[in-house]
Amino acid sequence: MKVIALVGCPNVGKSTLFNRLTKTRDALVADFPGLTRDRKYGRALYDGREYIVIDTGGIAEDAEQPSDLTSRMTGQALQAIAESDLVLFMVDAKAGLMPGDLQVAAHIRKSGKPCAVVANKIDGLNQDVAGTDFYALGLGEVHQIAAAHGRGINVLLEDVIAPVLREEGPLDSDLPEVEEEPEDDLNFDVDVSKLYDSDDSDAAADAGSEYVETDDDLDDAEDLEEDAEKPEAHRSPFAKEPSAWEQGFDFLDNVPLDKTGGGFDWHEFREKQRADVQKRLGRGDAEEIAAADAAAQAEAAKSSEAVPFADLPVKFALIGKPNVGKSTLTNRLLGEERVVVADLPGTTRDSIYIPLERDGKRYIVIDTAGVRRRRKINLAIEKFSVVKTLKAIEDCNVAILVIDAREGISDQDLSLLSFIIDSGRSLVIAVNKWDGLTQEYKEELRQELDRRLGFVDFARVHFISALHGTGVGNLFDSIDEAYLSATKRHSSALLNRILAAAVQEHEPPVSGGRRIKLKYAHAGGYNPPRIVIHGNKVSKMPDAYRRYLINCYRKSLKIMGTPVILELREGSNPYADEKPAQKRLTQSQLRQQRRDAETQRRYERAARRQEKAKAKVIAQGRKQGAVLPRGGKAKAKAKNRK
């Protein structure tokens, strides 16, 4: 696979072109120099062929950053040039030829790699004049592009990158178009001469035009008997021995080659089944039966202990505050100066994914930017770095929290630890800069870790020195252990047995006068392990009993380095809509119901008395000949008084 490196001075658009070629947003882009510091790899595809693009930092002196950091960034760019098959030397068309461009051109000439000059930022400039200054570099043709808007990218791919890719083979556009003829699945054209013996080829040719066999010859035995009376040239090939006609039809996939049905001997299979049944009934050799059972159990155990996703690399990310030694630890794990390291907080600004192979196992190391408190983040680019770090936590399988031993554990470390646990990632804690500390301070730090990290007792804690390599190799054992615990499969029978033993040892508490009932458990997911428990009134389960169940599962299943998620589910009543649920009322509730009923009866008696009085007044008024208006109850009473 071809490798293409993007080099140049700071702020010429290398990361923008990297994102344009890879069709991603992996590289951080901002309008100020010195953003990219480490070399970043990406996969790109053009015309059916893949290639690798390397984004590098600027090669130039910068007065705003330390000279040591600048020299390390230049070393990263030179390493990318050495690994590449083609160098794209990017320059700024608006700024023109700068002294730093001459310095970069000198490095490229020393490497002897093929180079193409790419003049970026030509938007708004006269294309006939833009980039003409760079012919003075003596590196050949200058290609004009505008990476931010995509102008000139196709021409760059066709004229510069495509010839390099053709060195491995033709591209898809170079291959001639092949017109596929429609296949006829119902093609029954068969050479009749193949159905006969080689000696009768002439007769078979004549027979092909004079006599036509029907399908009845395949199924009807009487037709087969009549074939014997026909002339030999007109005789059906199916009347011969099976070996003769089977060889004639060997081009058909659905026709068996022997009498046992395509090579499978059903008779032998049934005989083995009968022999196995006899052994199970005690008629065979007991030692053979025991050996067969042991082999079956060993095979089952071997299949159950198989590591899932064994063909995928384990991704682990280094998380922590700025300047705790994450990049130094990355270089120590890789055994090379892969990322830029400086005694300056915030050196790493992007998440770098680096493949690693150790003892036949594949890993991907993710070096992330340090995360500070929110109130201390002022620059916009640092906000994007924090977002990249949080995304790396969700993308990795195992998160390694790096803590500075000389500063102790801080609230920011606990905040990062909380985010890792909430994301469900496996956890390994590495206390860096352990060298040079007094024994008394080490004991105090151990006690502080036990006190403040008691809620993550499932995580392994390593005391290391990334600068000198002390204890760094032991991290891989904890990474493998945490990843295996997070992805290992467990049967429902095993989970139910653990649940029954836990309930028998300590029953669930009582809630609302009735005890919480746990019915059964099963696996609900992995990475992290998720255990689903069904029961009654599980929503009332206290957190203490939930932690008790998690610890039981963790101890029984030997889960280490990963959180265990316990999900409780309560079944719904299928008759809730058909029949109201019966409620048991207390004595005070029953007395209140009787008082309410008595009050309702009093109101009803008072209303009936009022109705009777009203009817009596109306009857007397009619008897006296008085005219009562509608609703004039008060007027009628006043008239009667007179």
Given a cut of 50, whether residue 259 has pLDDT beyond it is no
Using a 10 angstrom Cβ sphere, with 0-12 exposed, 13-18 middle and 19 or more buried, the burial of residue 249 is middle
Question: What is the rounded distance in angstroms from the CA atom of residue 64 to the CA atom of residue 87?
Answer: 27
The vertex-156 CA angle with 152 and 159, nearest 5°, equals 130
For residues 347-354, give the mean pLDDT.
Answer: 80
What pLDDT sits at residue 255?
32
**Is residue 99 scored above 70 in pLDDT?**
yes
Share of the chain above pLDDT 70, in %: 70
In the predicted model, what is the mean pLDDT of residues 197-221? 43
Distance from C-alpha of 341 to C-alpha of 415, rounded to nearest angstrom: 25
pLDDT digits (tens, 9 = 90+) for 549-565: 999 999 999 999 999 99
DSSP-H helix ranges across 125-265: 153-156, 162-165, 201-210, 216-219, 221-227, 242-248
pLDDT of residue 429: 93
Angstrom distance (rounded) from CA 478 to CA 428: 7
Taking the domains of the chain in order of start, what are their residue ranges? 2-174, 197-248, 266-304, 314-487, 492-570, 608-642
Would you state the pLDDT for residue 82? 87
**The domains spanning 2-174 and 492-570 adopt the same CATH topology:** no
Average pLDDT value for residue range 44-52: 87
Instruction: State residue 1's pLDDT score.
Output: 84
Residues forming beta bridges with residue 363, ordered by sequence position: 314, 356
Q: pLDDT: is 313 or 59 the higher one?
A: 313
Structure tokens at 440: 């008394």
Give yes or no for a contact between 36 and 56, defined as CB atoms under 8 angstroms apart: yes
Taking the C-alpha atoms of 279, 281, 284 and 285 in order, what is their torsion angle to the nearest 10 degrees?
Answer: 90
End-to-end, the C-alpha distance of the chain in Å comes to 120
Q: At residue 37, does pLDDT exceed 90?
A: no
**Which of 16-25, 334-343, 412-421 has the least mean pLDDT?**
334-343
Between 240-254, 402-416, 626-640, the lowest mean confidence (pLDDT) is in: 240-254
The pLDDT of residue 583 is: 65
pLDDT in tens, 270-305: 566 666 766 665 544 555 555 655 655 555 444 444
Q: Is pLDDT of 307 > 70?
A: no
- Cβ 330 vs Cβ 286: under 8 Å: no
Q: How many CB atoms lie within 10 A of CB 220?
A: 12
139 closest CA partner among 71, 76, 91: 91
Contacting residues for 571 by C-beta, under 8 A, at least 6 apart = 534, 536
Res 200: pLDDT: 44
**What value does the mean pLDDT take over residues 107-113?**
87
Which carries the bigger pLDDT value, residue 68 or residue 210? 68
User: What 3-state DSSP class applies to 298?
Assistant: helix
The predicted model gives 244-259 an average pLDDT of 36
What is the H or E stretch that residue 320 is in? strand 314-320
More confident residue, 345 or 200: 345
- Give me the CATH code for the 2-174 domain, please: 3.40.50.300
> Is the pLDDT assigned to residue 250 strictly greater than 50?
no
**CA dihedral sign, ordered 164, 165, 167, 171:** negative
Decide if pLDDT at 584 tops 50: yes
Rounded distance, CA 17 to CA 2, Å? 17
- What's the average model confidence in pLDDT over 323-352? 80
Amino acid 323: pLDDT:
84
The residue-averaged pLDDT of 300-326 equals: 72
Q: Return the pLDDT at 428.
A: 93
pLDDT (mean) for 498-515: 89
**316 and 351 in contact (C-beta within 8 Å)?**
no
Q: What pLDDT score does 325 carry?
A: 87
**pLDDT at position 294, please?**
60
Kindly indicate the confidence band of residue 228, based on its pLDDT and cuts at 50, 70 and 90: very low
Task: Please determine, for residue 248, whether its predicted confidence score (pLDDT) is greater than 90.
Answer: no
- Secondary structure in 3-state letters for 245-291: HHHHCCCCCCCCCCCCCCCCCHHHHHHHHHHHHHHHCCCCCHHHHHH
- Range in 58-62, 169-173, 221-225, 538-542 the model is least confident about: 221-225
Which residues fall within 8 angstroms of residue 381, CB to CB, at 6 or more apart?
28, 30, 32, 35, 349
User: Position of tokens 């068969």?
Assistant: 190
DSSP 3-state assignment of 512?
coil
Average of per-residue pLDDT across 129-152? 86
Mean pLDDT of all residues in the chain?
77
pLDDT at residue 340, rounded to an integer: 77
Reply yes or no on whether the pLDDT at 154 is more than 60.
yes
In the prediction, which pLDDT does 348 show? 77
The CA distances from residue 378 to 37, 299, 323, 386, in Å, are 20, 59, 18, 12
What is d(CA 535, CA 522) in angstroms, rounded to the nearest whole number?
12
Superfamily of domain 314-487: P-loop containing nucleotide triphosphate hydrolases (3.40.50.300)
Instruction: Check: CB of residue 442 under 8 Å from CB of residue 413.
Output: no
323-326 contacts at long range (C-beta below 8 A, 24 or more positions apart): 323/347, 323/370, 323/404, 324/370, 324/402, 324/403, 324/404, 324/432, 324/433, 325/402, 325/404, 325/432, 325/433, 325/466, 325/467, 326/367, 326/368, 326/370, 326/402
Give the CA count within 13 Å in the CB-facing half-sphere of 402. Answer: 28
CATH architecture of residue range(s) 492-570? 2-Layer Sandwich (3.30)
